[in-house]
Amino acid sequence: MRLQFVLTEVLNGLRRNLSMVVSVILVTFVSLTFVGAAALMQTQVDKLKGDWYDLVEVSVFLCPDGSTAPTCAEGEATEEQIAELEQVIDTELSTVVEQTYFESKADAFGAFTELYPDGYQGTQLTADDMQASFRLKLVDPEQYQVVDDVLEGRAGVEVVEDQRAVFEPLFVALGRASMLAAGLAGVMLLAAVLLITTTIRLSAVSRRRETGIMRLVGASNLFVQLPFMLEGAIAALIGALLAVGGLWLAVQYLVLDWLQDAVDWVAYVDVGDVLAVAPLLIGIAVLLAVVSSVVTLNRYTRV
């Protein structure tokens, strides 16, 4: 009885201010899409970092034949120089470096042929065209500078390169985009709160007669207010579901079908990530609706 009655009231209310309800749905849809996009971009950054950031090492390239770098004046790095560098890494950098891996010219060539079995841009290369290097995995990737200070300028070292620097601009761009989305989401959420508040207020005013009688015959506060709360919550919920659907489509068509084809060596956000964000969006929507209805209703339908 109660449930059926409340649901009928809710349906009537939704029908009565249809245009307002539609605008609530659209505003929550757009704002939550921004929230979801921000969250997904953050997820993307995390994925890239997980895949690459940790694996990417500091590379200490050793002098090859014919290098113009001042430290390479004596020509190709000798066995002694290599041994000495290894010594330095083991002692002076023992707290910073977690793992050391020496990639000889032959190793580099192996990795190269694996990537480009048919030669690079039509030239067949040999192992002698490769460059030997130390690959260092750091305890804390941020401590690149320490490694650089110690090793840069030593005999036999051509250049110390932080491989993360290659990816840094990408992360910065993604981070900024997700900040931007979050900022827009904030503005849109504010608009959503105001709109939901207005809608509930309109609904409450247009049903003053009903609520007045309800209060006179002794309906409980919750019973009087529940239909309005549900109205707001349902509209917001539909908006949230639309946002989830929109993000799903975006990920499916923009990322998985298109970006993935173009650049396939990166791990992208997928539909699973969208579903992981969904509860957050729905939660925000319900919270918005409940907060705005409690604030409004206490003013307009108080006993």
Partner 1 sequence: MIRFENVSKVYARGARPALDDVSVDVSRGEFVFLVGASGSGKSTFLRLVLREERPTGGRVYVAGRDLSRLSSWKVPSLRRSIGVVFQDFRLLPNKTVHENVAFALQVIGKPRHTISTTVPEVLEMVGLDGKEKRMPHELSGGEQQRVAIARAFVNRPQILLADEPTGNLDPTTSLGIMRLLDRINRTGTTVVMATHDDEIVNEMRKRVVELSTGSVVRDEIDAVYGHRESILPAVGQTPVLDAPGRDAPAVVHRVQVTPEPADLEAERAAEAAAARAAESGDQQPAAALPAAPAVEDRPVDQRPVAQAPVEPVGPPAADRVPEPGSPDDVVQQVLREHERVRAGREA
Burial (0-12, 13-18, 19+ Cβ within 10 Å), 247: buried
First to last CA, the chain: 23
According to the binding rule CB under 8 A, does residue 215 interact with partner 1? yes
Is residue 206 near partner 1 by the rule CB under 8 A? no
Is 209 among the residues that bind partner 1 (CB under 8 A)? yes
Asked if 34 and 188 touch (Cβ cutoff 8 Å), the reply is: yes
Does position 221 interact with partner 1 (CB under 8 A)? The reply is: yes
Of the candidates 75, 119, 175, 212, which one interacts with partner 1 according to CB under 8 A? 212
Structure tokens at 155: 């005999």
Cβ closer to partner 1: 3 or 115?
Answer: 3
Is there a contact between 227 and 10 (Cβ–Cβ < 8 Å)? yes
Residue 9 Cβ vs partner 1, minimum distance, rounded to whole Å:
9
Is 2 among the residues that bind partner 1 (CB under 8 A)?
A: yes
Among 92, 148, 210, 270, binds partner 1 (CB under 8 A): 210
Residues pairing with 135 in the sheet:
59, 101
Q: Which stretch binds partner 1 (CB under 8 A): 37-45, 146-154, 214-222, 242-250?
A: 214-222
- C-alpha span between 132 and 61 (Å, rounded): 6
Return the residue of 18, 216, 262, 263 that touches partner 1, per CB under 8 A: 216
β-strands 157-162, 97-103 pairing: unpaired
Subset of residues 222 to 261 that bind partner 1, contact rule: CB under 8 A: 223-224
Task: Return d(Cα 8, Cα 30) in angstroms, integer.
Answer: 28
217 lines the binding site for partner 1 (CB under 8 A):
yes
CA 281 – CA 40 distance, rounded (Å): 12
Least distance between partner 1 and beta carbon 220 (Å):
5
The binder of partner 1 chosen from 220, 275, 279, 287 (CB under 8 A): 220
Candidates 160, 153, 156; CA nearest to 57 is 160
Instruction: Choose which of 122, 169, 218, 272 interacts with partner 1 (CB under 8 A).
Output: 218
With H, G, I as helix, E, B as strand and everything else as coil, classify residue 156.
Answer: coil
Taking CB under 8 A as the binding criterion, the range among 138-146, 179-187, 189-197, 220-228 that sits at the site for partner 1 is 220-228
β-bridge partners, 133 = 61, 103
**Residues linked to residue 62 through DSSP beta bridges, in sequence order:** 157
Kindly indicate which of the ranges 79-87, 117-125, 147-155, 213-221 contains the residues binding partner 1, using the contact rule CB under 8 A.
Answer: 213-221
Contacting residues toward partner 1, per CB under 8 A: 1-2, 5, 209-210, 212-221, 223-224, 303
